[in-house]
């Protein structure tokens, strides 16, 4: 039985990321979207990175997932949960919310 994925706002994500290098911010958008707008410190997820995460990351690594609006990142969070990861959060509103609420210098698209 799957557990509930925590959903956090862009503001809450920014607070958690501030000064905590242990938290990983994973961006599950397409490369062209990442080129348009990205959150500093985020990592674009590739198939190779997914394989590395599953094989080598501690299952309790704190991970925040984000996409454009929060739908794809929720699917990714559920996938990582199925792989045994236990400290997952989905950023609701995605980078669109981040660009409105946290860093207005990030382009909206």
Task: Determine the pLDDT at residue 19.
Answer: 79
Domain that holds residue 39: 6-101
Examine residue 108 and state whether it is found in any structural domain, yes or no: no
Q: What's the number of domains the chain is made of?
A: 1
Long-range contacts of 75-81 (CB under 8 A, 24+ apart): 76/26, 76/28, 76/45, 77/5, 78/2, 78/5, 80/53, 81/2, 81/3, 81/5
Q: Could you list the mean pLDDT of each consecutive 10-residue stretch along the chain, which spans 109 residues?
A: 82 91 94 96 97 98 98 98 97 98 96
Examine residue 1 and state whether it is found in any structural domain, yes or no: no
What CATH number should be reported for the domain holding residue 55? 3.40.250.10
Q: Is the pTM here over 0.85, yes or no?
A: yes
What mean pLDDT is reported for the chain?
Answer: 95
Q: Hey, which residues are catalytic here?
A: 67
Task: Determine the pLDDT at residue 3.
Answer: 66
């Amino acid at each position: 039985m799957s557990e509930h994925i925590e959903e956090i706002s862009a503001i809450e994500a920014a607070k958690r990321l501030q000064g905590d290098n242990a938290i990983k911010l994973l961006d599950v958008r397409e490369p062209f979207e990442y080129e348009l707008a990205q959150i500093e410190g985020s990592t674009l997820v590739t198939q190779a990175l997914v394989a590395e995460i599953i094989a080598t990351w501690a299952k309790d690594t704190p991970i925040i997932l984000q996409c454009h609006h929060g739908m794809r990142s929720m699917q990714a969070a559920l996938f990582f949960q199925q792989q045994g990861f236990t400290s997952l959060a989905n950023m609701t509103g995605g980078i669109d919310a981040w660009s409105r609420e946290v860093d207005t210098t990030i382009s909206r698209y």
